[in-house]
């Protein structure tokens, strides 16, 4: 890799940015609502995947994926939803951030659909037993749920998906040239008692035995 690049021209104000980009149309401005209507609830019910954006009290950000069976996120009311927290790597980045800063952003995906659903609000970590039981799968209930108080939600257009061809199999790279997660982890962690093969086996075991 080359040395650090020095950025020469940096935008400093929103006024400067607006002079280049312009302003949203009346339709874009008015599409934002402050509650989950039937359309939003139906979108969430068909979504098996979302990403969660959070930051801590210092502004350090994190974006984390969540995926499960279609409709795994429960809409509790027009202003509330809850996301089950399934077993992970125990870094708990999202949950630690929520404890210090409840602001949260969600982006819901439906496979094959270019448009996504964006939701912003405030989050809390909940352990209500009845609620967690309702999100159990294969006899295993989540230990924690991420409850969200909805403040705004809106549909995001499909331009990014059309440009990327994300849902078009013909645009996908061959499996043989995809990055190896095990190799990347091996190079990053640099643990003397680990090999690429042992890390690969560990990943596969987690995928097969510890999804729930």
Q: How far is CA 14 from CA 17, 23, 34, 36, 195, in A?
A: 5, 11, 25, 30, 49
Residue 46 DSSP label? T
Contact 55, 97 (CB under 8 A): yes
* CB neighbour list of residue 37: distance below 8 Å, 6 or more residues apart: 78
pLDDT at 2: 80
pLDDT at 175: 92
Contact 103, 122 (CB under 8 A): yes
Q: Tell me the pTM.
A: 0.94
Q: Encode pLDDT of 29-86 as tens digits.
A: 999 999 999 999 999 999 999 999 999 999 999 999 999 999 999 999 999 999 999 9
The segments of the chain whose pLDDT lies below 50 read none
pLDDT at 56: 97
**Could you give the domains of the chain?**
14-164 (2.30.110.10), 173-209 (no CATH)
Strand order in the sheet with 74-77: 61-67, 49-55, 103-109, 116-126, 144-156, 80-85, 74-77
Spatial distance between the Cα atoms of 195 and 178, rounded to a whole number of angstroms? 19
pLDDT at 3: 86
Q: How many CB atoms lie within 10 A of CB 44?
A: 23
Q: Residues 54, 99, 86, CA angle at the centre, nearest 5°? A: 70
């Amino acid at each position: 890799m080359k040395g650090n690049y020095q950025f020469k021209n940096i935008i400093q104000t929103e006024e400067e940015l607006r002079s280049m980009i312009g302003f949203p149309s009346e339709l874009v401005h008015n599409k934002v609502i402050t509650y989950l209507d039937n359309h939003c609830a139906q979108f969430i019910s068909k979504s098996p995947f979302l990403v969660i954006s959070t930051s801590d009290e210092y502004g350090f950000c994190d974006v984390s994926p969540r995926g499960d069976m279609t409709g795994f996120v429960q809409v509790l009311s027009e202003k509330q939803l809850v996301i089950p927290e399934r077993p992970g790597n125990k870094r708990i980045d999202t949950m630690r951030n929520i404890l210090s800063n409840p602001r949260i952003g969600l982006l819901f995906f439906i496979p094959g659909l270019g448009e996504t659903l964006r939701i912003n609000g405030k989050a809390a970590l909940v352990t209500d037993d009845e609620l967690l039981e309702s999100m159990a799968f294969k006899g295993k209930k989540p230990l924690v749920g991420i409850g969200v108080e909805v403040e705004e939600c809106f549909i995001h257009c499909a331009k990014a998906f059309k440009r990327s061809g994300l849902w078009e199999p013909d645009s996908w790279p061959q499996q043989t040239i995809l990055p190896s997660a095990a190799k990347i982890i091996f190079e990053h962690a640099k643990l003397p008692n680990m090999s690429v093969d042992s890390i690969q086996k560990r990943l596969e075991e987690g995928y097969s035995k510890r999804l729930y």
